[in-house]
């Protein structure tokens, strides 16, 4: 309650805007997830630059949310701003390709090791398209996902396990498509369960994050991803790595960092520096089976792509981001900051003798108020929303912005060691307040 009072005192202008927003925006926000911030209302943003976000009350934050990875590069980097400004004056949508699109295809192929790429408007979009391609290519009806995964608002993926049954994800608006018919769900880090399920022969593809990142960070156990590859191959199931968040593992995502061999890859959010765009790539074999029929008009491509997909503005933003940010050297700047964060938080946890832990993947990290869970269901039942909200609001009131989802922290090269240490200090204060 004290933190709520402080929050209100710090944010009179946000409170005014929130009240006004309720007059015209559903739930007072332009997008439902924005209601998920702890506090009576979200802070309204004035601007964001580098590692800083400044709200309409003039409060400045160390931004560790970075748009839930959409701004993994840091905010408003001149390289990206200049590229999109220049493009804006030269036409932003054409329904025809330009040279930037060719550059982008070549760069994605080089980074991720798959030769043929397509663009999409968002990672959700890209995931929908690859699922469609996978069903087309295999002639099988069902898609497999990990229990408690998140791949955007893709209907088939909004499913979890309830015992052996596949049921809609709790809280998903419904009635939705019948996930018991469209979807197979398997627990992360469980090769036997995957093998048993895929043996039924009705699954077109497995859509997965190489590490779960949407129920907190859950890392793959030793040998798990190699096992997934062997099992999917043996059952003729296409393996799709959704690297939308795991891009934090390095310039080629977890796929390159861990030497994985998926059939298809989806990347979104960060790759266009915050402009809406995503991409998906595929093996030469898949490309050969799709490209000829597409060019020969044998495949009706309705169902993939959209009018604004691959537009020149988005394409210029991807080029600027990949050519001058999100490179090897940028990760070399950001990852040590995440390591420093992990060490600082672990030190506080250890000194307090708590059974908590801190997890890291590349330049993103997160603390858990429990020992490490090994799969999505264990992670979901371990999540304590009350304590997460307390830590989040405590940090926000002290100028540190974590993601509202599981208090994750993302680092860009624009952050500094002082930013990390400020968070550690704030975290230590919260632990002290909680355990006093
Ligand atoms: N895939 C993953 C792994 C994600 O985490 C998300 C969003 O958080 C998405 C896809 C969907 O991204 P978007 O909401 O930008 O479509």
Q: Do 46 and 106 share a domain, yes or no?
A: no
Domain end (from 268, 289, 324): 324
- Domain holding 66: CATH number? 3.90.1150.10
Do 264 and 280 touch, CB atoms closer than 8 A? Answer: yes
Which residues pair with residue 410 across a beta bridge?
A: 364
Closest protein CA for atom 8 of ligand 1: 152
CA of 354 relative to ligand 1 center, distance in Å: 32
For residue range 108-117, what is the model confidence (pLDDT) as tens digits?
A: 999 999 999 9
Q: Do 285 and 332 share a domain, yes or no?
A: no
Whether the predicted pLDDT of 300 surpasses 90: no
**CA torsion sign, 419 to 433 to 376 to 65?**
negative
Compare 405 and 144 and report the one with higher pLDDT. 144
DSSP letter assigned to residue 16:
H
Q: Do 113 and 247 share a domain, yes or no?
A: yes
Enclosing H/E stretch for 55 = strand 52-55
For residue range 365-384, what is the model confidence (pLDDT) as tens digits?
A: 999 999 889 999 999 998 88
pLDDT band at 168 (very low <50, low <70, confident <90, very high): very high
**Ligand 1 atom nearest residue 243's Cα:** 3
**Ligand 1 atom nearest residue 269's Cα:** 15
DSSP letter assigned to residue 43:
P
Q: Do 164 and 70 share a domain, yes or no?
A: no
- Of residues 131, 137, 105, 114, the one with CA closest to residue 289: 137
Residues with CB under 6 A from ligand 1: 122-124, 127, 150-152, 209, 214, 242, 244-245, 268-269
351, two tokens: 């000194």
Q: Do 6 and 116 share a domain, yes or no?
A: no
Whether the predicted pLDDT of 1 surpasses 90: no
Do 161 and 377 touch, CB atoms closer than 8 A? Answer: yes
Domain end (from 291, 324, 357): 324
Q: Do 314 and 410 share a domain, yes or no?
A: no
Looking at residue 436, its pLDDT comes to 84
Q: Do 145 and 270 share a domain, yes or no?
A: yes
- Of residues 200, 106, 199, 214, the one with CA closest to residue 157: 214
Q: What is the mean pLDDT of the chain?
A: 96
Residues 6+ apart with CB under 8 A from 279: 104, 108, 117, 118, 119, 120, 126, 266, 267, 268, 271, 318
Whether the predicted pLDDT of 182 surpasses 80: yes
CA of 258 relative to ligand 1 center, distance in Å: 21
C-alpha dist (Å) from residue 25 to 16, 20, 57, 174: 14, 9, 21, 21
| Residue whose entry in the numeric block shows the structure tokens 């005192």 | 9
- Domain holding 269: CATH number? 3.40.640.10
Q: Do 377 and 346 share a domain, yes or no?
A: yes
Whether the predicted pLDDT of 175 surpasses 80: no
Looking at residue 229, its pLDDT comes to 98
Looking at residue 94, its pLDDT comes to 93
Give the rounded distance of the alpha carbon of 303 from its chain centre: 24
Whether the predicted pLDDT of 38 surpasses 80: yes
pLDDT band at 176 (very low <50, low <70, confident <90, very high): confident
C-alpha dist (Å) from residue 184 to 44, 178, 181, 428: 40, 11, 8, 42
Number of domains in the chain: 2
Looking at residue 400, its pLDDT comes to 98
For residue range 41-50, what is the model confidence (pLDDT) as tens digits?
A: 999 999 999 9
Looking at residue 301, its pLDDT comes to 81
Q: Do 252 and 183 share a domain, yes or no?
A: yes
Looking at residue 144, its pLDDT comes to 98
**Ligand 1 atom nearest residue 246's Cα:** 3
**CA torsion sign, 137 to 138 to 140 to 144?**
negative
Whether the predicted pLDDT of 7 surpasses 90: yes
Domain end (from 277, 306, 324): 324
pLDDT band at 303 (very low <50, low <70, confident <90, very high): confident
Q: Do 35 and 95 share a domain, yes or no?
A: no
Global pTM value? 0.97
Q: Which residues form the domain of 212?
A: 78-324
Looking at residue 385, its pLDDT comes to 86
Q: Do 157 and 305 share a domain, yes or no?
A: yes
Whether the predicted pLDDT of 96 surpasses 90: yes
Q: Do 165 and 226 share a domain, yes or no?
A: yes
- State ipTM: 0.99
CA of 67 relative to ligand 1 center, distance in Å: 12
d(CA 75, CA 46): 13
């Amino acid at each position: 309650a004290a933190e709520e009072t402080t929050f209100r005192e710090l944010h009179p202008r946000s409170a005014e805007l929130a009240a006004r927003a309720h007059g015209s925006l559903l739930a007072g926000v332009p997008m439902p997830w924005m209601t998920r911030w702890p506090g009576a209302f979200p802070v309204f943003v004035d601007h964001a630059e580098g590692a800083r976000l400044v709200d309409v009350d003039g409060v400045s934050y160390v931004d560790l949310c970075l748009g839930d990875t959409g701004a993994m590069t840091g905010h408003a980097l001149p390289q990206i701003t200049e590229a999109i400004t220049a493009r804006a004056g030269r036409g932003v949508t054409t329904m025809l390709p330009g040279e930037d699109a060719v550059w982008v295809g070549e760069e994605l192929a080089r980074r991720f090791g798959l030769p043929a790429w397509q663009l999409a408007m968002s990672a959700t979009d890209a995931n929908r398209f690859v699922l469609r391609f996978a069903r087309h290519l295999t002639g099988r009806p069902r898609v497999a996902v990990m229990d408690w995964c998140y791949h955007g608002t893709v209907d088939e993926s909004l499913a979890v396990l309830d015992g052996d049954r596949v049921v809609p994800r709790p809280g998903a608006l419904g009635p939705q498509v019948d996930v018991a018919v469209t979807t197979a769900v398997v627990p992360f880090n469980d090769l036997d369960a995957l093998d048993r399920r895929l043996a039924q022969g009705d699954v077109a593809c497995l859509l997965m994050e190489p590490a779960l990142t949407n129920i907190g960070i859950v890392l793959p156990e030793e040998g798990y991803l190699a096992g997934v590859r062997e099992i999917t191959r043996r059952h003729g199931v296409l393996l799709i790595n959704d690297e939308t968040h795991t891009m934090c593992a390095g310039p080629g995502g977890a796929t390159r960092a861990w030497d994985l061999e998926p059939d298809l890859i989806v990347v979104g959010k960060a790759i266009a520096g915050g402009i809406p765009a995503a991409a998906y790539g595929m093996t030469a074999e898949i490309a050969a089976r799709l490209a000829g029929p597409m060019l020969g008009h044998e495949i009706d491509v309705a169902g993939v792509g959209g009018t604004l997909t691959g537009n020149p503005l988005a394409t210029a933003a991807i080029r600027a981001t990949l050519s001058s940010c999100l490179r090897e050297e940028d990760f070399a700047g950001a990852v040590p900051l995440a390591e420093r964060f992990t060490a600082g938080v672990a030190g506080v946890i250890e000194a307090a003798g708590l059974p908590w832990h801190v997890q890291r993947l590349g330049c993103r990290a997160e603390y858990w108020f429990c020992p490490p869970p090994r799969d999505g269901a264990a992670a979901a039942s371990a999540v304590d929303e009350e304590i997460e909200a307390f830590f989040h609001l405590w940090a926000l009131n002290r100028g540190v912005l974590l993601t509202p989802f599981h208090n994750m922290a993302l680092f860009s090269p624009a952050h500094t060691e002082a930013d990390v240490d400020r968070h550690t200090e704030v975290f230590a204060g919260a632990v002290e307040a909680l355990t006093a």
